[in-house]
Structure formats: structure tokens, C-alpha cells
Structure 1
Amino acid sequence: MIIGTFKECKQGESRVVLTPNEVSELTAGGHTVLVGKGTGENAGFPDESYLEAGAVLKEGMEEIYADAELIVKVKEILPEEYDLLREGQILFTCLHPAANREEVDVLLDKKVVAFTAEDTHQYGSPNGEVAGKLGALWGAHYLLSVNGGMGKLVGGIGGAPGIQALVIGAGIVGRSATNVLSSLGARVTMMDVNIGVLRDAQYLLPKGIDTMFSNQSNIRQLLPHVDLVINCVKWPKQRKDHLITRDMLKLMRKKAVIIDISADVGGAIETYRPTTYEDPVYEVDGIIHFGVDNIPGAAPHTTSIAYAASVFAHIQSIADHGPEEAARRNPYLRRGLTAYKGILTHEETALIQQRERVSAEKLLGV
């Protein structure tokens, strides 16, 4: 199969879904891999390393879309890519389809076979782990007065205490953020709706971490005392309420920081809006908000190595067996099937956008 990847169009995004290691595996298996020039440059993978792995270098995405049967990338397709898709082409990337009706319209109209990569992970995405760790570090960064914050050092010093932090969500993202903050000396309260997860966290994470059940009442109690809030909860898109409303910001200390890793507009944090690394923060009622929606893009080398390895089995299976047989063989890949030659198969997207769908199982005869 002819597989193509290229430099991401999204601003501030330098991650790659194929490092030279994965390219060498694919070419050794008889596949052709097309790589756009400069694809991995900012992630520490120069063009020469792809050539040595057996890739064929191309000028850019237009050439690759024209020639590749399978397009693999990191982020959602953007408007400048819409017209480049062709019928029957296979797409594997983080589509976030439920939140993007226009993108779904294009996938269906173009009759491509599209997989939502973020839904195919059996053990959770490495992107979540790095987002949690980086989110904690950005929180520490913006608490410093030189960066607009209240002038607090996350871990304190002799005679002056460290910060109080609230981490909402105890999944991979929340545990990663908590681990970094507690290691730096912060006093952390971690919230979740799963008491079993909170119980396990007491044994997995460093001592000195408090756990609480996640609800708005408990959050209200804590907000006057915390310097940093990190939201790691993916909010169901059909819900219209929020965990932290704009009205609740008045409970917080001025220049406190909210890092919304989940990056849901209208989500758990009512006042969230997406930003980029070029202009990452904004203030609402005296509270600093960090809204970058591709946080792992700041550490593209580390993230790419782990992420590429985590999804490679899916990419290799699609290349070896075709998308239909690959999806039949693996329920996690099948879960990510979003559009199949004009038919919507993605459950969340159908629910949120009120569209008709055919399940992947029915479509593939599983």
C-alpha cells in the first residue's frame, strides 16, 4: 500500500505519526511511504532520517494526497485539505468528528474511509500523558509574576508554603498532572466521580495528595483556597451545564490560573476558549486561562516517539490487510471507524449531530 504523511497544517503542531522507525518497518514489509519534506524537522526527525528508513520524499501535502492510498497524520483535517481528499482514500488521524460538523460533511461527501485515531487506544493515548505533565508545568509557569501570575513558586521554599492545586479528573491526564505538581512540592487535591480510581490513586501517586468526589459543591468549597486548577475532564458534548461557571470565578484568588487540558468549548470550564502557543493565555474576571488545544505539540519529539509507537499496529494492519479486514480483526480500530464510503459509523458523532448511522459491526458483518 502507498502510505503518506506530511507536515501538519495546524498552527503550532510539529508532532508526527510516523517516525523513521515506523517508516522502516513499513518499507521492510513491502509498503511505499511518502513523506513531505520537512515533516519531522521540528520534532527532531530530519528528512535524511526518513530517506535512510526507505521513505520517498515529496514536496508537500498536495502531492501526497494525490498519490497515497492511506493518509496518516496527527490532527484533524483542515479546510485547505478538504478538496484534496478523493473517493476511497483511507484516513487515520485525530478527527474529533463530534465537534466538527463541516469536517464530517466532507468525509461523507468525499466517500473516504476515515478512522478517528483518538478512539482506537486500548490503554489510553500517550498524548494524554504528556498533556497532563505539560499542563502542570504551564500552570507553574503562569503563576510566576513575570508571566502575569500572582508570584507563587509551585513548591514553595523554607518558611513559605507551596501552592494549592486542584486537578479535576483522575484518568491518565489527571494522574500525570498530579504526579508532576506533587513532585514539585505542591499540595494537590485530585477529584473524580469514580471512587475506585481515587482509592487506587492514593497508592500509585506520591503521598500528600488529597482526593475528593468530583461535583460542583466540592469544587466551590475548594476554589477560594486554590492557586491552580487543571481540568482533565472531557465534558459530554450534549451537556449544557459546567463544572466551573463564570460566576464561580469570583470565588478564586485574583491571578489564579486555570489550565483546561480537555479544551472543550462549552465544556467543564464555561469560560474556556481555544488559544495557540503564539498567544496562549487570556484573563476572565482576573483569572488567567490557558487554552492551548494541542498542548503536546510543545514536546513533539518525546510525544511523537510514544504516540507513533502506540498507533503503529493499527496503521500496519490497515496497510497489510486493508481497512475492512483490519477493523474486523481489532475492536479498538473498529471503534474508531468514523465514515465509510459515504456512511457515518461513529456513534458519538451521530448522537451529537443527530445524524443517521450504521454501526461498524453491521457494516463489516462482525
Structure 2
Amino acid sequence: MKRIVFTGGGSAGHVTVNLALIPHFVRAGWKVDYIGSENGIEKQLVQALPDVTYHSISTGKLRRYFDWNNFKDPFKVVKGVFQAQRLIRRLKPHVLFSKGGFVSVPVIFGGWMNKVPIIIHESDITPGLANRLSFPFATKVCVTFPETLDHFQANKALHVGAVIREEITAGNGKEGLAFCGFSASKPVLLIMGGSLGSQKINQLVRQNLQQLLERFQIVHICGKGQLDSSVQADGYRQFEYVNERLADLLAMTDLVVSRAGSNSIFEFLTLNKPMVLIPLSRQASRGDQILNAESFRKRGYAEVIEEEQLTGERFVQTVLSTYEQRAEMKAKMQRDQVANGIQSMVDLIMSCAK
């Protein structure tokens, strides 16, 4: 029996592609293992899968800012490397697939020490720190944007396009409306701040809620620990995180407000959902979401508000004006519809399995 180890985590964006790929290997009869952190969101998402064995190791976060944890996290990473090396030696996988994130670094090192073929996936236009550290140990690097090829050696890098989960396209809008208690007679605005949420976006939504509710019914996915039970209104539903019902919520949605993580925005593109994108600022990231958002803005799929320019008035005006442009945006999305790269990715991984 063939065996594959998946890794990646720290945020839902570093798990989504793995969740899209795993069913293909389960159906093919492979043994599937996942190595992640002890308490990360990847553990929550993967442990719900019946045919995947989850293994926890020590991990440390790769920060771009000062934090006292920066002094002790390298020791956690070293510990994680040895844990991953022993675990992979015992599992004896034929191939290792990494979606990136700080969780993946010790696993990549452990796989390399065991001479396991390693496939890395990079979603954003510019590679993240974890993938840059891991690249020398990889057999192949798969990218979503063709521009990303410029950052890697030509003999290792391959453009596969977006990897879209099968279930995200199978949503039922009527079930989404029923789940939220909404009516089909009023448009739906879906607001997502990412799996970790965004305090600034959440605050703006709640401060301008009554004005937005005049035009929309609102589903607000606000992130772990960021629910506000004091905010209640007809036509407004808030959730920390949505997994199984997300496809239904997207199916009923007329306009999305979101961060600009590559996995999410390509799913919105696949579903022809006009977007208002609020990318993470350069102070909070390496600026990858800004580049992702600008790419979609140039193609006519989205309007963009940079976080430094985010005010209540600007937010509401952009949401309303983007909704008025929705037909034009959807026409451009349908014209430029990108192919799902999932089968190319599956074929590559299987061909690289030792």
C-alpha cells in the first residue's frame, strides 16, 4: 500500500489545499497521515476526516516582528525536526506533500533526512518564509500564479494553477438561506476575516451594521474568539468559523468581503463571486495578500481597500459600489475562468512517490 504524509498549518489557508487533495489519495487506496502542530487549526480540521491519521509535533512560529517567543521557538523547531524525523522513519511514506506555514518546516527537514520525495505548494505570488526555507530540500515546487516561477529554479518549479476543493462547488443556496434564517428576496453579503479573524474588519462591520443591513442580509465569519453576542439584528448571523456549511453559504452569497489569501480568492473566482478584498498590511505580513488582491483588481474580479485606508465610510461605499458592478465582474470571471489544477497536482505527487 502506498503512503503519503501531508503537512501544513498555522492558518486555514495552509490546510485548504491539503483538504482538497486528501480525498483523491484515500479513494486511490493510499494510507494517509498528517503531521501538524499540537494545538493548531490544522488539527481541528484534519482530525474530523475519518481516513486520516493525525500526528502532533513541536513547532515554533516564524515571526517577522519582535516577540519574546522568538528566543525559545527555535528550540521548539529543533525538537520538532527530530520528532518528525523519527515519525517519518517509522511511517516510511512514499512521498511528502507540504502546503507551507511554520508548521511544515520541521516536517520538511525530517522528510529530507529520511530521503523522502518532497512536493511543496505555494499559493501566493511571492513565496512565504517557510517555503523559502524548505525549497532546497524539495523535489518539486508547485505554484498557483505563473509569476511565482521567477522565484524558483526552473528545473524544480511547476505552474499548476489554483487547487479548488471539490465540495466548495457543490453548495446549495437554499440550504444556506435556511441555515441562516434568511430570505431569498434580499441579497446576501458574506464577510470573512480569515480563520484567525480580523479585529479591524469585525469592528467596522459592527459599527456600520445598520447601514449595511438596509441593503443586505449579512453572514459574518469573524474568527476564533471574536464573536460578539451583544450584537444582534434581523438579517445578521455571525460565526467564529464555518467548515461543512461554507459551500452552502457561498452558494447563496451575492458579494464577498474577504482578506486576500490565494486559496480563498480563487475559490470565490471559481464560484463567480464578486469581491471586496482587504489584504493584510505589510506591517502584519510580507505583503503577499496585497499582490494577490492587486492581481485580481487588475483583472476586474475585485475592488481593493488597503488596511491603512480602511474607514467606515470607505468600507460601506466600496461594498455598495462593488455590488452595483457585480454583473460586469461576474462576466469577466466567467470569461477568464481558470481550470482546477487539482488533477495535475495529484498526478505529479503520484509520479514522484518513490
Q: Which category describes the TM-score, using the shorter chain as reference length?
A: 0.3 to 0.5
Flag the structure with larger Rg. 1
Return the TM-score normalized by structure 2. 0.37
**More RCO (CA 8 Å, sep 6+):** 1
